[in-house]
Amino acid sequence: SLEDAYEALRVFEILAIEKKPLDTADTCKKVLENLGSSSPLKDVFYALKVNGILKCNIDGTIFKDIASRLKATLHDANIKHPH
């Protein structure tokens, strides 16, 4: 899972180990799959965290789509639970 991948990457960062044993191409592919779909927000969250470490090549429009989706989620939450 991307959550496990993120935790492994963070441990390597903490230990200051430059060479990461993960297959970066496969992990970035999984990141793109999670960012470019209607994955649960938890999966999007971990995909973004993994991307922050691996710096996968991601099209900027994907980030705009995620921002729109998050705004819609927040809007829906405010409608269901107004302050």
Q: What is the pLDDT of residues 40-82, one digit of tens each?
A: 989 999 999 999 999 999 999 999 999 999 999 888 888 777 6
Q: What is the pLDDT of residue 49?
A: 94
Q: What is the pLDDT of residue 22?
A: 65
Give me the domain span that covers residue 75: 2-80
Q: What are phi and psi of 67, to 5 degrees?
A: -60, -40
d(C-alpha 71, C-alpha 76), whole Å: 9
Residue 83 pLDDT greater than 80, yes or no: no
d(C-alpha 59, C-alpha 17), whole Å: 28
Tell the burial category of 79 from Cβ atoms under 10 Å away from its Cβ (0-12, 13-18, 19+). exposed
Tell me if 13 sits within 8 A of 20, measured CB to CB: no
For the full predicted model, state whether its pTM sits above 0.85. Answer: no
d(C-alpha 22, C-alpha 52), whole Å: 15
Residue 14 pLDDT greater than 90, yes or no: no
